[in-house]
């Protein structure tokens, strides 16, 4: 297969966002602002949580993990997309393409698993309040967080290895704005049925399993809230879940559209993918800040230069 006038691929050319000719500078400014807001917002949450001893709880520990993930996830594709828009730098090395595939699925899978862990945390807090500190002790929280990162790295390594063990000896033009499995394997000059089957199963299986577990957790939470006698207790319990439900919707919505609707046109798939890669990581810190008095209080202390007295 390597025979007739084929040159083995050592780099790829990303075509970028389709149908944006003449709008590159406007898109560059918009996406740059989104990216800077993502970095600033998530770093601000990290600093606020780490600086306030009252926020050293399981919920905010997992929120810090989410902020790190959002920074990393948006950094997988956005810098290169900005370079394409501003500098027309469409070339990405083979190693760079491999890194994008690995980190995109590593961080995406970790975030998916982390949302499931955060749902379990809310389930334990609301359904078993008297045993919450025993259930979600520091050791358990550390193991749960480490487990999401380790499991996802193994998952992403399998997908990346299967993708790039294929021979790439023909066209190197990727019809997308970053390296993802499906646009890249279209260029392979070998049989791609194995990687397509495995990747579709893995990519679909992980979010579906996580979504069902999250759904089961919130069904139990809803039942527990309805059984509460105090209206104030019901309100407080529900308010602690609103932010998590909002970010879960933002995360699984684009995933569902992209991976369960293959009939969607490329015109729709690309904006949905951009929303998941660029906009959602920016919205997450905003959602948690606007809905959370503790985080807002910690941010006010940071802004006012006050020290935390409660240790």
**What is the Cα 161 distance to its own chain's centre?**
21
Residue 36, burial from CB neighbour count under 10 angstroms (0-12, 13-18, 19+) = exposed
Question: In this predicted model, which residue has the larger pLDDT, 239 or 80?
Answer: 80
pLDDT in tens, 66-83: 999 999 999 999 999 999
Residue 44 clears pLDDT 50, i.e. is over it: yes
pLDDT in tens, 254-273: 767 666 665 555 556 778 88
What pLDDT does 305 receive? 56
Residue 202 clears pLDDT 70, i.e. is over it: yes
Residue 240 clears pLDDT 70, i.e. is over it: yes
pLDDT in tens, 137-182: 999 999 999 999 999 999 999 999 999 988 888 788 998 889 988 8
What pLDDT does 265 receive? 52
Name the helix (H) or strand (E) containing 55: none
| Measured distance CA(229)–CA(212) in Å, rounded | 28
Domains of the chain: 11-304 (1.20.1070.10)
């Amino acid at each position: 297969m390597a025979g007739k006038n084929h040159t083995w691929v050592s780099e790829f050319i990303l075509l970028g966002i389709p149908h944006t000719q003449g709008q590159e500078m406007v898109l560059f400014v918009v996406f740059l602002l989104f990216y800077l807001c993502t970095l600033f917002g998530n770093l601000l949450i990290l600093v606020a949580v780490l600086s306030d001893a009252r926020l050293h709880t399981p919920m905010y520990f997992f929120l810090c993990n989410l902020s790190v993930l959002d920074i990393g996830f948006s950094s997988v594709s956005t810098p290169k997309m900005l370079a394409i828009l501003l500098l027309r730098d469409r070339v990405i090395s083979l190693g760079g393409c491999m890194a994008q595939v690995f980190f995109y699925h590593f961080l995406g899978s970790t975030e998916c698993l982390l949302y499931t862990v955060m749902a379990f945390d809310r389930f334990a807090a609301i359904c078993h309040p008297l045993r919450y500190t025993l259930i979600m002790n520091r050791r358990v929280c550390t193991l749960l967080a480490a487990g999401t990162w380790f499991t996802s790295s193994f998952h992403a390594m399998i997908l990346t290895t299967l993708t790039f063990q294929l021979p790439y000896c023909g066209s190197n033009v990727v019809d997308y704005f970053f390296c993802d499995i499906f646009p890249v394997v279209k260029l392979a000059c070998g049989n791609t049925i194995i990687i397509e089957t495995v990747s579709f199963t893995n990519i679909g299986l992980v979010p579906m399993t996580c979504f069902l577990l999250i759904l089961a957790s919130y069904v139990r939470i809803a039942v527990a809230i309805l059984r509460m006698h105090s209206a104030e207790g019901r309100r407080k319990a529900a308010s602690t879940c609103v932010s998590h439900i909002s970010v879960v919707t933002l995360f699984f919505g684009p995933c569902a559209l992209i991976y369960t609707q293959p009939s969607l046109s490329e015109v729709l798939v690309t904006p949905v993918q951009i929303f998941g890669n660029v906009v959602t990581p920016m919205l997450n810190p905003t959602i948690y800040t606007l809905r959370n008095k503790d985080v807002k209080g910690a941010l006010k202390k940071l802004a006012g230069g006050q020290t935390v007295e409660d240790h």
